[in-house]
Amino acid sequence: MALAVGLRADYSADELRRLAAVTKNASQSRRLLSLAGILDGMNRTQAARIGGMDRQTLRGWVHRFNAQGPDGLLDSWSKGPEPRLSAEQRAEIAELVEAGPDRAVHGVVRWRRIDLQRVILKRFGIAYYERTIGKLLKALGFSRISARPRHPAQDGRTIEAFKQTVPPR
């Protein structure tokens, strides 16, 4: 059987319990209490049960504690992948959507995701899925609800003449 990973000696069990009591993070507190149990002489399985984890998970937290101290017991979340469009490019897309398409240039009356997908590929050389274009638009503050399209040759006077008024009762 392999030897247990050693725990750094610059913290006592009482110090770890004190840190667990003052921290606002419940997960960090549970991990600190498990490590305090190890320092008190518990076996690793029992100490892991204190924190609601298995022995192998506790081993990983011991490594993090040895390397980073009590702050290493906080959850660390990934920021995710870097955006493929720069901030300037996203601002340019936002301006393009806000201004609307030019029928002569873009060949469309209103923007659809597939149209914006083509524009982004043509301008920036970045290929997005159509669904991702929707996520990008939402991140830029646009909603999928759009105004009813208007034909460019529509005449307002003809529309007003066509409307029928109902006489009051």
Domain ranges within the chain, ordered by starting residue? 13-73, 87-145
Residues 161-167 have a mean pLDDT of 80
Under 8 Å CB-to-CB from 14, ≥6 apart: which residues?
Answer: 36
Percent of the chain with pLDDT over 90: 66
Residues 2-29 have a mean pLDDT of 89
Cα pseudo-dihedral 131, 135, 141, 146, rounded to 10: 20
Six token digits for residue 49: 């049960």
What is residue 135's predicted lDDT score, i.e. its pLDDT?
93
Residues 64-88 have a mean pLDDT of 91
How many H helices and E strands in the chain? Answer: 9, 0
Q: Using an 8 Å Cβ cutoff, are 80 and 65 in contact?
A: no
Q: Within 13 A of 63's CA, how many CA atoms are on the CB side?
A: 6
pLDDT at 33 over 90: yes
pLDDT at 153 over 90: no
- pLDDT category, 28, cuts 50, 70, 90? very high
pTM: 0.53
C-alpha distance from residue 160 to each of 115, 148, 163 (Å): 33, 18, 5
